[in-house]
Amino acid sequence: MIVCRAQPPRLVPIPQISHVGTLNTQTLAAGVPSEDCRERMGGGGGRISSRRSLVFLSIFPASTILLFNASAASPSLGFDDLVTEGDRDASSDVSRRVGDAVRLLDLAREFQAKGDFSRALNCFTQVITDYRDFAFTEYARVGRALLLYEVGDRDEAIIEMEDVSISLKGYPEIHAALAAALYTDRHAPLLAENQFTIATILDPHYADLSYVREKKHWPPSLISSLQNFITLS
């Protein structure tokens, strides 16, 4: 019997490229190899086919090529150059409005500390009315609710407190104030106890009448209601 052995395939050696020129950022921006590479690949300035250009471009993501294009067009291009005049005007307007709102909020607290509760209430209300698009106006609602309890409608004040206790859940002052109002005006001791527990867990100072009087500048009627709750009277 004659056994035929298949000849193993001959492997054709792959020629090695001795060296390839470097690529610079401007070349990458254009999406084609450098002049040095072009000479080595095309033999002296020949044009690379569109197929090779597409293969080369597919290696890099579009964002990279766009970035290189921007850098090549203007090496000194910075973030400020990408902001339009309209963007600057809008940012300046927002900054001005934030400053005005904060100053008005500070003025309201200053009037409250002096015992001028009517003017403080007006300032808190103005912050809420004119700057409702800012999140920190919720804190103006806290001040407004406390002062409504003193110089306005107590029922409206309690409704405001209940609403803010949800939007600012975990803010101890509103929970303590709501506890005092619920106990004295709504005669709801269990609900009041729940609110006061939240307040004192977060900040035990609200169990101290001198703290809400001297540090938080609560109005007298709300301090009296808190005292009624603490002493269960």
Domain boundaries, the chain: 25-73, 92-231
pLDDT of residue 91: 87
pLDDT of residue 88: 80
Is the pLDDT confidence value at 75 over 60?
no
Q: What's the CATH superfamily of 92-231? A: Tetratricopeptide repeat domain (1.25.40.10)
Tokens 């080595």 belong to 40
CB 144 within 8 A of CB 174: no
Three-state secondary structure readout of 179-208:
HHHHHHCCCCHHHHHHHHHHHHHHCHHHHC
CB 158 within 8 A of CB 188: no
Residue type, 47: R
Residue that wins the pLDDT comparison between 171 and 81: 171
pLDDT of residue 62: 45
Weakest-pLDDT range from 3-7, 50-54, 88-92, 161-165: 50-54
Is the pLDDT confidence value at 162 over 80?
yes
Q: Could you give the CA distance from residue 139 to residue 48 in angstroms, rounded to a whole number?
A: 67
Is the pLDDT confidence value at 191 over 80?
yes
Average pLDDT over residues 28-51: 45
pLDDT band at 81 (very low <50, low <70, confident <90, very high): low
Is the pLDDT confidence value at 73 over 80?
no
pLDDT band at 78 (very low <50, low <70, confident <90, very high): low
3-state DSSP percent of the chain in helix, strand and coil, to 5: 70, 0, 30
Average pLDDT over residues 76-85: 65
Average pLDDT over residues 82-105: 87
Q: Could you give the CA distance from residue 142 to residue 222 in angstroms, rounded to a whole number?
A: 13
> Nearest-CA neighbor of 233 among 213, 215, 209, 212?
209
* φ, ψ at 34 (rounded to 5°): -75, 170
What pTM did the predictor assign?
A: 0.64
Tell me the per-residue pLDDT of 128-146, one tens digit each, with 9 for 90 and over.
Answer: 999 999 999 999 999 999 9
Weakest-pLDDT range from 8-12, 43-47, 142-146, 182-186: 43-47
Tell me the per-residue pLDDT of 142-154, one tens digit each, with 9 for 90 and over.
Answer: 999 999 999 989 9
- The segment with the largest mean pLDDT, out of 15-19, 63-67, 74-78, is 74-78
Burial of 102 (0-12, 13-18, 19+ CB in 10 A): middle
Weakest-pLDDT range from 6-10, 96-100, 204-208, 218-222: 6-10
Q: Could you give the CA distance from residue 81 to residue 57 in angstroms, rounded to a whole number?
A: 27
CB 11 within 8 A of CB 45: no
pLDDT band at 113 (very low <50, low <70, confident <90, very high): very high
